[in-house]
Amino acid sequence: MKSNQEFEETNSSDATSNLSLPLFHKDQIPLAFLKTGKPRDSSIIMAADVGGTKTNLALFQIKDGALMLLTEKSYATKTHKSFLEMVHNFQTGNFPSVDGICLGIAGPVTQGKVHGTNFPWEIDREEIQRKLQVHSVSLINDMEANAYGLAALNEKDFDVLKYGSNVSGNIALISPGTGLGEVGLFWDGSHYHPFATEGGHCDFSPRNDLDVEIWKYIHQKYGHVSWERLISGPGILDIYLFLRRISGKKESQRLKEKFEKEDPSVVITENALNGKDPVCKEALELFIRFLAIESAQLALKFKTTGGIYIGGGILPNIIKGMNREIFYSNFAQSGRMNSLLQMVPVKVILNEKTALLGAAYYAAMSLE
């Protein structure tokens, strides 16, 4: 994870500056879009992935049936007073007129408006249309954007966490980051139809005595104990603080100093993976266990024989060093439904731009 200052940087000079995404091809994961007409060539698209920690903004042009990345920039979300202020900073220099906009936003979208779950301002589609003078503006949940972004990915963008059967069916995404996002993709026999949920805010369900004690700790601290309170960056910190308290083991001076200077959740995961602190290690293992349990719950609710995909900013950074057996052994623990869960493949999405690409696809396919 990066600090706020590090997010204030352009990325157009890196490898993604040559990015070209075909709009019409035989997708590995075929997505159904609202419109099926061919977007007109030379159209300019603005896409955004608005999260609780950072916002990615990008400009694309449709050329020869593909989306060509023109420029991209990342911002620290909470250092801005509004999304439009961020866009104003983005629109510098010889900025072209925009034909379509899509924002993937971390929060529930209702009647063209959304108030962020983990950031303090509202985004209004009509206000964006009026002030930016763009007719085609779409607001979708950030997890919907992640789902649409699957159309842009290929095998190198995934790491298989658990193998399953090769059976077509529904898909679900679960993404631990600043919060916990969940989305479903209904399979109609030929295409996938994403639909937003707020499943990350459902109640955490303890399975053993330690889980009950964690529930009590989180309940005392926040009131409602959701899965997001545990399966997220802040959740890693709360699990660690709970374990530190009940273990009686004192925090080292080295850890205290790092916590003061860096993101505590990142410090915990780093020290867990390098084996330098047993409490950090246990905290990360509990995080993985809880992620496995909720992923399985999601698989059962949506009957995801097509697979579970794990996104967000945490798993891609720990997948190479984490204990995969913890995930696997806790995934198929639902009694009579274990045989179904064993069929479900689980893949980690490695491409951090998936939501941004999904928003770009959605904007292009929504043009009149």
Q: Where in the chain is the domain with CATH 3.30.420.40?
A: 4-153+353-365
CATH 3.40.367.20 domain residues, the chain: 171-349
- pLDDT on residue 24: 57
Q: What is the model's pLDDT at position 118?
A: 77
Residue 34 reports pLDDT greater than 70: no
Residue 26 has pLDDT above 60, yes or no: no
pLDDT score recorded for residue 35: 59
Strand ranges of the sheet holding 307-310, from the earlier edge strand across to the other edge: 158-162, 346-349, 307-310, 171-176, 180-187, 192-196
Can you tell me the distance from the alpha carbon of 101 to that of 86, in angstroms, rounded to the nearest whole number? 14
pLDDT of residue 15: 36
Looking at the chain, how many residues does it have? 368
**Structure-model confidence comparison of residues 248 and 280, the more confident one:** 280
DSSP secondary structure letters along 257-304? HHHHHS-HHHHHHHHHHTTS-HHHHHHHHHHHHHHHHHHHHHHHHHT-
Residue range 141-170: mean pLDDT, rounded: 93
The enclosing H or E element of 214 equals helix 209-222
| Domain 4-153+353-365 in CATH 3.30.420.40 | yes
Q: What is the pLDDT of residues 160-189, one digit of tens each?
A: 999 999 889 999 999 999 899 999 999 999
pTM assigned to the model: 0.89
Above 80 in pLDDT, residue 338? yes
Task: Work out the widest C-alpha separation in the chain, in whole angstroms.
Answer: 64
- Residues 330-343, mean pLDDT to the nearest whole number: 93
| Cα angle 303-287-347, degrees, rounded to a multiple of 5 | 45
* Confidence label for 224 from pLDDT (cuts 50, 70 and 90): very high
Between vectors from CA 333 to CA 329 and to CA 336, what angle results, nearest 5°? 140
- The share of the chain scoring above pLDDT 90, in percent, equals 73
pLDDT of 257 higher than 90 = yes
Q: Which fold has domain 171-349?
A: Hexokinase; domain 1 (3.40.367)
pLDDT tens track for 93-138: 778 899 999 999 988 899 999 987 778 889 999 999 999 999 999 9
Average pLDDT over all residues of the chain: 89
Using the predicted structure, report yes or no on whether residue 208 has a pLDDT greater than 90. yes
